[in-house]
A and B are shown apart, each in its own frame.
Chain A
């Protein structure tokens, strides 16, 4: 039953910590220390400033400020000399292009203003989706600190011509000496670039091309190659699946590039059925958090459990071991058998044998969910070749090394070996968009254009192509790698012409180049399914079982939604982006289960100001030691397992503020995400986390979330007074229980005239990925406040995604009520934290029609518009913060400082380049004013104006906000409910629809759809 559930955000709440209570009860945790200052007689008396002096100072500063303000600033208006035809100052242009940075690949639309890209949105025509990182990549374009600006040799500037000459000569010499030259690139998935590289190799036969992915999916690629003869990754049609069983595959995160769009299609209870998703995992991942059933299992047992599943499905005996989850495996086997061809099993273990076993299982199931035709081409790394390269370099067999946008000197597990062996290489050329450890270690550094400045093409999947086009003039003296390689090969063509010819000749069959360039993508027919070869399961299984060496603690390495492989570590939006699970920003940490933490003595105390601290640990894995790793206790972490994310801990070239976290790459031995032989030791000191999980809690208002099961959804009346899963709120009035909406503090207005905006948020299809959070950052000029400020709850996110844990037994009081002894209570709490259910809830200004904030504003700075938007007038706000204190949803944000043009906050709003990303239609707020979500009023107004100019009514579904446009799964739907055709209109009256805290009668314009879990076991 939904209503019995209690929700909590942090395990500290379970302990009923008084500090946490205090934090929960206060909107602003810290008081302004006036009493502290004025109440202290000693400090006042010891002050050397007398009352007279004070008045003199005040008088003088006032006079000085007045005099200084007498002369207004002179603003210049500098027009173009020759205006480009398609630019109208003040009107945005959109371009369809593709992102491909070696880790993130996406079909995107880029919004430009006066020739500057300012926002990225998914190209939904191409079924594109964006993640937080793709959204934030527009800011990395303007990263003047990290990007390479000039070609250089041994850190001294040289010209492009000199660089070409010198490198060309060196290449020719190496060719004549027949010494191997290695071109080391990430996955580019670019057919035209592949061709250019093959021509480069034809010109220099001594060149070898090695593809290196920092985060490897080599196991899956090799397994698919072994079974189907194609070096790619299979795709999965999760939308059609009835049963999905995942062994540690974070397919809503970065696994295979993510499947959130397909997954969400199968999670719509309106269809009467939903996929049943079971996740076996050790870390709490985004995918596990969304699963219908999450089974915690430590890494070694995951491998055995996978083998046991094969055993249970086929009855064949394969070498394995018993695990604590064998009972679950048996149940799952039944579910899979029942679902048959609509079932699928996936695994995130980066091991060829483990991947082969899942392919074998899917073959046994005759799964039609696994798609062997539309194979994925965005992971092509060859781990063996990379390790071979390092050993060849060490033995002095490599004459030249050319890297392209990879950073092996940082991301290789044996990075020091690599850097050491570089001495034996005579020609060292780094082509890179940004400065990094590898660029630092090489002789030549050639600056490469950012993808938003480049031409290019991408083959995402077999038959699914994307074009890349420049959306801005080159910011620095950069060039494209393809142009450089063409030059070195002796071609006089430029890459643009090359690309155009290549596409006209080899890709496009039935349309024109201009059309494809306009659309940004091109889909061709795909070839027939490859035949599956038989594999010797027995030997594969025994090799797999033999590779696992279970230990007391086992490490599971993962990537976060914020930083991924760490390429964009200097991006303040991503650093400030709170992790969807832990809600921590500006850090990575060792996640550990509560049981293990108790055993090892780790704690996460909450400080008075609402900030969380953590102990440090010394972590030793396979002989590699890392000191001062902060520890975070993670509910749902498998006992005996620890998690640590890759991508953090970079220091070379980064701004000081961004040099956060610890580098986990040295642990990434053999590119295996599971590492055994782990020892942890507690060390002294406290780490200061910037974690928002105890901040902005719901203060016991558990009915903010409504969750039901598919069975109840289909059979029970939602409004039923006793059993309903979406029953209306009741309040006490005149000592009678009445429906909350029958009484009201405010007068009702007619809202049927003109537009009336509402936003529907489907808790079922929201995966918590956070793309909307970064989209909101970009659209609304939301400032970055830095680690210190986030730590004390002063983050400025207009839109946050609350993550709730839920369980049946709660606090100490609950335990007392249930008559549990002290020991039992702790055990109960521990059990609760062992594997809680997780629900995500995007939370922003609810735009209440009866808004408590508007009532209390003494200067009427926050008012209500007829179109349903709660408007915030910054120039009117005097910063009393009454509104924030009166807001039941805790969504108002106060500008404690000036975050722009302030060296204390040296992020994107403090540099000329960084400011280029600002949206010119939204003001940059200054100190002392309150701000919050505006329902993107600049965008709704622009839509209305467009309609007015064209003399027509606003079209159906024409209104959008940044978050709704960025949402890949369609969980956020924005529109005008006075247009009956708009997609949001039926959602408002859907039987799943509810307003949060409806008993307060604030009548929000944000509507949530009850989350439905499938507990039917298929």
Chain B
């Protein structure tokens, strides 16, 4: 035990000092050369104007732009960016460059010299590796943050054992000192024995005790049985390590961008691969330092890039030549939210008509790396919500007449779903 701790401690120190050195070098380089404001401005412009066709490293529709200034003159680039079509008429090199891709590049006559320079500056210096610093400290401090669960148990057990040992030691010490109180103890023992005899002879106590025990057993048993088939927390291992946290949380993609049929249909719909490709055609790799927790393992950039490659594999996307090969294969996701066949549920009723947020039933999806079932999805859970929730009229003409009539009948201002009939068996079971 000791040696393991020591070993890991040494390793941590080594790592820390090594990364410190590394960081020191990096930060020296960047701290001295990079004008952060220019880089930021350039990055912003690049992301909004250029990124749909260009990447810094690796080709997309257009060529990779990292270090483009080392390949072309600044003036040449400015003319090309402002209006490459006009430029081609006067410049042979531009005509040659235009042959890179059959579709012509968009002209940006609105860009000022300063803006173009900023963009070019960004292509030269690239990303500032600030987050690396944060991440390495996180890694370095990782050992301190979370003690493994088993350790806590072992510690507790050790404390209890130690306590017992101390108690027995004290007892021994007392006995050795001759400091015993035999009368008191025998009194206590006699009392206990009498109590025990009393308990043994009391039939009433027996009966109530048995009933109590049976009730407890039944209650616990019932509760356990009721949980059969309730898969709250169900989180099967999916074929692709897809993180809702990255997509819905960090990148703030609308749920219904991918689950687009939720507003039209009973199914929310698993997005087809072509929907993934809308973005991932341009995003072949994650940003430096991206991490997710997946099935208890931390996935870093290398792993996540491999996961993105799985989409390309399914869509039949040739990353090198940037074209579809036509060799597609389906992605076999594991379904998490399973309702039995005899229960009818319709997403559009809840999303479009009631205007519920997805999180109401699915929980904080934007914080989940690995998706899990947040709600129990039991009938009681459905009914509870139907009982409490008021009908959202929202100027919906459908409800006008019936709501007024029911409000009058129940003498309430706002009618609940249950009062509207949302508790009738046949509304969900057919």
Contact = CB atoms under 8 A, between A and B. Distances in A.
Interface stretch (B244-252, B284-292, B340-348): B340-348
Contact of B333 (A69, A77, A944, A953): A77
Contacts of B421: 754, 865-867
B89 to A, nearest CB: 40
Given A91-B264, A945-B353, A951-B398, A865 B274 contact: no
A949 B353 contact: yes
B178 to A, nearest CB: 60
A425 interface: no
Interface in B386-420: 394-402, 405-406, 409
Interface string A948-960: 1101111000000
B135 to A, nearest CB: 34
B272 interface: yes
Contact of B342 (A754, A923, A934): A923
B348 A81 contact: no
A949 B352 contact: yes
Interface stretch (A291-299, A689-697, A872-880): A872-880
A25 interface: no
A953 B338 CA distance: 33
B151 interface: no
Interface stretch (A82-90, A547-555, A597-605, A902-910): A82-90
Interface in B225-269: 228-229, 231, 236, 261, 264-267, 269
Interface stretch (B59-67, B324-332, B361-369): B324-332
A76 B261 contact: no
Given A79-B331, A866-B424, A953 B273 contact: no
Contact of B398 (A88, A876, A948): A948
A543 to B, nearest CB: 62
Contact of B264 (A88, A869, A948): A88
A941 B427 contact: yes
A921 B261 contact: no
A892 to B, nearest CB: 15
Given A76-B335, A81-B330, A951 B429 contact: no
A948 B353 contact: yes
A78 B332 contact: yes
A76 B333 contact: yes
Interface string A921-939: 1111000000000100110
B168 to A, nearest CB: 44
A923 B342 CA distance: 5
B430 A937 contact: yes
B327 to A, nearest CB: 10
B28 to A, nearest CB: 49
A91 B261 contact: yes
B348 A951 contact: no
B110 to A, nearest CB: 35
B30 to A, nearest CB: 43
A81 B330 CA distance: 6
B334 interface: yes
B274 A924 contact: no
A193 B338 CA distance: 49
B312 to A, nearest CB: 12
Given A81-B315, A945-B349, A872 B265 contact: no
A978 to B, nearest CB: 9
A786 to B, nearest CB: 23
B323 to A, nearest CB: 15
B146 interface: no
B271 A79 contact: yes
A74 B427 CA distance: 27
Interface in B296-328: 314-316, 328
Nearest to B328: A81
Contacts of A865: 421, 424, 426-427
A75 B430 contact: no
B270 interface: yes
B155 interface: no
**Interface majority SS on B: helix, strand, loop or mixed?**
loop
Contacts of A951: 394-398
A88 B265 contact: yes
A80 interface: yes
A837 B266 CA distance: 49
Contacts of B400: 953
Contacts of B176: none
A947 interface: yes
B123 to A, nearest CB: 34
B333 A79 contact: yes
Interface string A892-924: 000000000000000000000000000001111
A74 B269 contact: no
Contact of B272 (A83, A752, A947): A83
A952 B264 contact: no
A873 B328 CA distance: 43
B426 A875 contact: no
B270 A923 contact: no
Contacts of B37: none
A949 to B, nearest CB: 5
A740 B202 CA distance: 65
Contact of A82 (B273, B349, B399): B273
Nearest to B231: A72
Contacts of A863: 424-426
Given A74-B236, A79-B330, A79-B331, A948 B349 contact: yes
A89 B261 contact: yes
A934 B265 contact: no
B334 A75 contact: yes
Contacts of B353: 945, 948-949
Nearest to B427: A941
Nearest to B404: A753
Contacts of B398: 944, 947-948, 951-954
A871 interface: yes
A962 B269 CA distance: 27
Contacts of A88: 261, 264-265, 269
A871 B265 contact: no
Contact of B269 (A75, A76, A89, A949): A89
Nearest to A920: B266
Contacts of B395: 951
A919 to B, nearest CB: 10
Contacts of A947: 398
Interface in B335-383: 335, 338, 340-344, 346, 348-349, 352-353
Contact of A753 (B346, B405, B430): B405
Contacts of B333: 76-79
B170 to A, nearest CB: 49
Contacts of A873: 425-426, 429
B426 A77 contact: no
A922 B428 CA distance: 10
Interface in A846-887: 861, 863, 865-867, 869, 871-876
B342 A79 contact: no
A77 B265 contact: no
A79 B425 contact: no
A871 B425 contact: yes
A69 B400 CA distance: 48
Contacts of A90: 261, 264-267, 269
B273 A81 contact: yes
Contact of B429 (A76, A753, A875, A954): A875
A934 to B, nearest CB: 6
Interface of A: 69, 72, 74-83, 88-91, 750, 752-754, 861, 863, 865-867, 869, 871-876, 921-924, 934, 937-938, 941, 944-945, 947-949, 951-954
7 contacts: A75-B338, A77-B334, A754-B402, A871-B424, A922-B430, A938-B430, A945-B353
Given A81-B329, A923-B342, A937-B430, 11 more contacts: A77-B270, A78-B270, A79-B269, A81-B273, A90-B264, A753-B405, A863-B426, A871-B429, A875-B429, A921-B344, A951-B396
Leading 8 A-B pairs by shortest Cβ distance: A871-B426, A90-B265, A83-B272, A80-B272, A90-B267, A79-B270, A873-B425, A75-B335
